[in-house]
Amino acid sequence: MLEQLGINAKKAASSLASATTEEKNNALVKISKALVDNAEKIIDANKIDLENGRNAGLNQGLLDRLMLDEKRISDMADGCIQVSKLDDPCGKILETVTRPNGLVIKKVSCPIGVIGIIYEARPNVTADAAVLCLKSGNAVILRGGKEAINSNIAISEIMRDAIKDAGFDENCVQLVHDTSRDSSTELMQMKDYLDCLIPRGSKRLIKAVVEKSTVPVIETGSGNCHIYVDETADIDMAANIIFNAKTQRIGVCNACESLVIHSGIIDKALPVIKAKLDEKNVEIRGDKRAKAVCPDIKDATEEDFGTEYLDYIISVKTVDSLDEAIEHINKYSTGHSESIITEDKDNARKFMQLIDSSSVYHNASTRFTDGGEFGLGAEIGISTQKLHARGPMGLRELTTTKYLIFGDGQIR
Amino acid sequence: MLEQLGINAKKAASSLASATTEEKNNALVKISKALVDNAEKIIDANKIDLENGRNAGLNQGLLDRLMLDEKRISDMADGCIQVSKLDDPCGKILETVTRPNGLVIKKVSCPIGVIGIIYEARPNVTADAAVLCLKSGNAVILRGGKEAINSNIAISEIMRDAIKDAGFDENCVQLVHDTSRDSSTELMQMKDYLDCLIPRGSKRLIKAVVEKSTVPVIETGSGNCHIYVDETADIDMAANIIFNAKTQRIGVCNACESLVIHSGIIDKALPVIKAKLDEKNVEIRGDKRAKAVCPDIKDATEEDFGTEYLDYIISVKTVDSLDEAIEHINKYSTGHSESIITEDKDNARKFMQLIDSSSVYHNASTRFTDGGEFGLGAEIGISTQKLHARGPMGLRELTTTKYLIFGDGQIR
């Protein structure tokens, strides 16, 4: 039943492909204004979602993610303005080659076309994702969770009116109103209309999309992030970084979930790290050698090393060498972010070369893996796969390239 | 049953990730020599495949693709040397940013990791693909068609010995010996071990991989390529380019399958184009207006416009405007290669911007969409999807990137 949305999106994408930067920015400014002007309408719709959520027994965390107030709507509106100020990622000439036969081949950046976004209960994604797609010249089909459907309809209708008002086809942004599982599955199979599908949300959602989709997927993912304390680490620096990476915000994908510590430094390092983590009552689960150093920590099981806690819990693995650390991390990590704390530059270099993750740090917190912190200006997600985009994805990652070849009659 | 291959490949990939360019090139030279030295062994194995193929009633075209002689083995060996001379795509610093907090963020190119290649009856793919993967630092799991299994085993064993001899883990290159459909399906589901899957072969094979794979796929694809003859086209140039694009090699994905002609020039242009195509007895299937100009051509059905003939057949569609041409082409094309023949630069610009294909030409033959012709030095395939790689894929497209972040204790 979503086919008509696909047809509409393809048509809208075609008109967006020739839009100027000014035209696109103008639409973003209009969307921003419309969101603020219609805040009450959005809040009214959101109240219905909150009421339904309470009746359905959603927990406090989910209700909080679902909730929109003037501040959050104003943040969405500010986001539009920020994105309008970013560099247009389309139309960049990335390479020019002149071949011996006289053909001039230019590789240029251009919109991907039609992007599908499947997400869960956060209605702000509706505006954030639409705005990033619009700026990068892509039509978008949004499929949010049923918990936020009233809010999403309100936000998307306001955006569509603003887009139309800016002279664009309002189908640049479309929301799937049917929130049954069938609509989600259908979207994943719309290969004729969608060029790319980006799931945003829980591990379960992402897994389902990867397994069922025939549309190319950019997997944004979970982070079982490690910090390795090397034999020559500055212990105070290590403790500070670990404390930050574990506790500054526990529910995020770039939080540290597991420590790996060299046996040559664990006697000195672990008590200092533990003292710091105790400040926020972080539960430490260690292997035998870690327990020998700090007997009051809990036992780590094999399962712990593979767990993204998203909680005040951290695991500790003891190793005898850098190689063992690298092997352990590459086995258990989700390829998101890992850090080495060391004063040995050769070890840092080896770690950074061999760790198979999107972002590998030397002497810094894993919490920096973020579009804003990397200077991308905005972020549609963090890719933990290796094709197309890896790590924080900004506007540029929402473009593809094409070859333009200029001839004067060349034949082969 | 393929899990052990996955485990082996991951281990081999890790050792390849730290290999120097010289070490990798040395392995390629050894493979080249080994292929030539063991040509007889390969030919003997190939004879069994040919015999089996004849008994199974394979047609002449398939038997020809399957056949290996000294010349073809020598071509494979030359390919290794050529790839050894290409620039190493890994370890390039693509960007460096220093953030206000002092973090230095470098984006560097690196191997993808483990690549799976699923292909059909051409045993030369076994060597060609393995060599490109090796040079780009990737371990590869090859799954060729059952028709070529004896040839593939011979070639892969020779390569593995040479790789070992060069000091690498021979599991950098592994061949799936089981050619049942189950092994192919299992490979498509090996998400824990494979970072990327590249199908090479028929439309049916590629479709099956796209539908069944949970591993990210780079779709290499079919080409329903169009040439649009604009109102101001140089008619002789158009006829030459169309003749070349249609007939120089009919069985390839960048051959022209469909003409789109402006109604303002069709009276003059089509007879000239037809006269040229008649030289090779190309069957022309046109719409009503094309038939009005050249009554002896055949009728085109709707189905014709969506057909990749790979034969001496071409369809003709008449349009009244550039916009109509663009709409028609974007509807029927497979996103491979399209060309506009025009003397009007504005029309060329618009066509190149709005045609949604990997390679868009002005006044040149579509036959140039090829890694060698684009100057990439080698080619693993031509991507018709939009993520990761689009158009001809060389060594660079077999790499991904990672962020290396250098700090001195930064926390967030």
pLDDT, tens digit, 9 for 90 and up, residues B206-265: 989 989 999 999 988 789 999 999 999 999 999 999 999 999 999 899 999 999 999 999
The per-residue pLDDT for B308 is: 94
* Residue (of A398, A345, A335, A328) closest to A366 by Cα position: A335
The per-residue pLDDT for A364 is: 98
Minimal Cα–Cα distance from B38 to chain A, Å?
Answer: 35
Contact indicator for B138, B27 with CB cutoff of 8 Å: no
Contact yes or no for B365 and A411 at CB 8 A? yes
Q: What is the rounded distance in angstroms from the CA atom of residue A258 to the CA atom of residue A339?
A: 11
Report the half-sphere exposure of B397 (CA within 13 A, side-chain side). Answer: 26
Report the half-sphere exposure of A72 (CA within 13 A, side-chain side). Answer: 19
Token pair 């025939």 in the structure block, residue = A214
Contact yes or no for B409 and A356 at CB 8 A? no
* Residue (of B253, B254, B12, B11) closest to B130 by Cα position: B12
Helix count (H) and strand count (E) of chain A? Answer: 15, 16
What single letter denotes the amino acid at residue B196?
C
- Name the residue in chain B with its Cα closest to that of A353: B18
Residue/partner pairs of B351-355 with CB below 8 Å, 24 or more apart: B351/B228, B351/B230, B351/B322, B351/B325, B351/B326, B352/A404, B353/A17, B353/A18, B353/A110, B354/A14, B354/A17, B354/A18, B354/B326, B354/B330, B355/B326, B355/B329, B355/B330
Residues of chain B under the 70 pLDDT cut: none
Residues of chain A under the 50 pLDDT cut: none
Q: Where are the alpha helices (DSSP H) in A136-202?
A: 149-165, 181-188
Q: What is the rounded distance in angstroms from the CA atom of residue A123 to the CA atom of residue A139?
A: 19
Q: What letters, b where the CB count within 10 A reaches 16 and e where it falls short, cover B314-325?
A: bbbbbbeebeeb
Chain B residues near residue A408 by CB distance under 8 angstroms: 363-364
Helix count (H) and strand count (E) of chain B? Answer: 15, 16
DSSP string computed for A244-271: HHHHS-TTSTTSEEEEEEETTTHHHHHH
Token pair 């950098």 in the structure block, residue = B172
Contact indicator for A340, B384 with CB cutoff of 8 Å: no
Length of chain B: 412
Q: What is the rounded distance in angstroms from the CA atom of residue B134 to the CA atom of residue A149?
A: 49
The per-residue pLDDT for B1 is: 84
Token pair 């009552």 in the structure block, residue = A281
Residue A240 is nearest to which of B113, B374, B409, comparing CB atoms?
A: B409
Torsion-angle region of B354 (φ positive above 0: left; ψ -120 to 50: alpha; else: beta): alpha
Chain B residues near residue A216 by CB distance under 8 angstroms: 216-217, 219, 385-387
Q: Which helix (H) or strand (E) holds B295?
A: none
Contact yes or no for B374 and A97 at CB 8 A? yes
Chain B residues near residue A244 by CB distance under 8 angstroms: 411-412
Contact indicator for B226, B389 with CB cutoff of 8 Å: no
The per-residue pLDDT for A201 is: 84
Minimal Cα–Cα distance from A364 to chain B, Å?
Answer: 5
Contact indicator for A121, A62 with CB cutoff of 8 Å: yes
Residue B386 is nearest to which of A196, A367, A369, comparing CB atoms?
A: A196
